[in-house]
Amino acid sequence: MTTGKLIDGKAFAAQLRERVGTYVPAFHQAQGRAPGLAVVLVGEDPASAVYVRSKGKATREAGMESFEHRLQDDVSQGDLMAIVAQLNADDAVDGILVQLPLPDHIDDKAVIAAIDPAKDVDGFHVVNAGRLAVGEEALVPCTPLGCLMLLKDHLGDLAGLDAVVIGRSNIVGKPMAQLLLQESCTVTMAHSRTRDLEAVVRRADIVVAGVGRAEMVRGDWLKPGATVIDVGINRVAGAQEGKTRLVGDVATAEALAHVGAITPVPGGVGPMTIACLLRNTLVAAHRRAGMPDPEGL
């Protein structure tokens, strides 16, 4: 029985963050300032608050400026939009990220649409989504970008490989499919209504699972030697009463008997998201300043 390799996203992300940091001094010297990332957090969602703290820490460690705006969960749509407009106009800010999810009374689509596409480091604006779809220069959503980096690091050239993306969200599934198409993969988008999903997955050289269902993809669904990127983060009951644990969308222990490589949960895709956010902020800063994109990022 073969044993697959665990892809160390944490180590790759640390290397990427380090590479991003090496470009900051030259930008600072050329522009008289460091690249700046502004994060807007609405409310007190514990998971979002932890994530925002992690982003701020990573931004500062890379030598970039971190601007945080923390708002009460009853903030009005108008007040939130005013802050976005203020950040759009601030030359010290190269990237704007409004932490999702937002409270129910806020129209998140309107907020995302209000962000200057040149500062949309989440890659969620329809302008960036459209540019990605037609193969033009765009700011790409961080999670699928990180997935692609891990795939290329492990497999090298992806051209001609059969890829299945499970999940069709605007944040992961759709942009992931676009990125794989640009790498000349043959791409199938699968989802909750796909007929005989098991058979679809079984033919894939690459599987990217981002459907949000704990361990839905079983080990025997996977083609021997396949490379699996597990984007899922699901909290399930742990071995001890009252304890929980994190699992992905793929049954990792089962999958290791079949696949060539798989990202673990946690420690796989998660760290790549923040690293790619820093990368996007640096790229946005370079483009706004009329400087060429940093090489190798």
Pairing of strands 234-237, 244-247: antiparallel
Q: Which helix (H) or strand (E) holds 30?
A: helix 9-31
77 an active-site residue?
no
99 an active-site residue?
yes
Q: Which of 94, 99, 178, 223 is catalytic?
A: 99
| Phi-psi group of 3: left, alpha or beta (phi > 0 → left; psi -120 to 50 → alpha; rest → beta) | beta
Pairing of strands 261-262, 206-209: unpaired
Distance, CA of 114 to CA of 177 (rounded, Å): 26
Per-residue tokens: 172: 């992961």
Distance, CA of 200 to CA of 49 (rounded, Å): 38
Q: Which residues contact 91 (CB under 8 A, 6 or more apart)?
A: none
Q: Which helix (H) or strand (E) holds 98?
A: strand 95-98
Q: Which residues contact 83 (CB under 8 A, 6 or more apart)?
A: 40, 69, 71
Q: Which residues pair with 209 in a beta bridge?
A: 166, 230
Q: Which of 116, 120, 122, 249 is catalytic?
A: 122
Which single residue is written with the structure tokens 């090489």?
295
Pairing of strands 186-190, 162-166: parallel
Work out whether the CA dihedral 72, 171, 97, 46 comes out positive or negative.
positive
Distance, CA of 60 to CA of 275 (rounded, Å): 12
Active site residues: 55, 99, 122
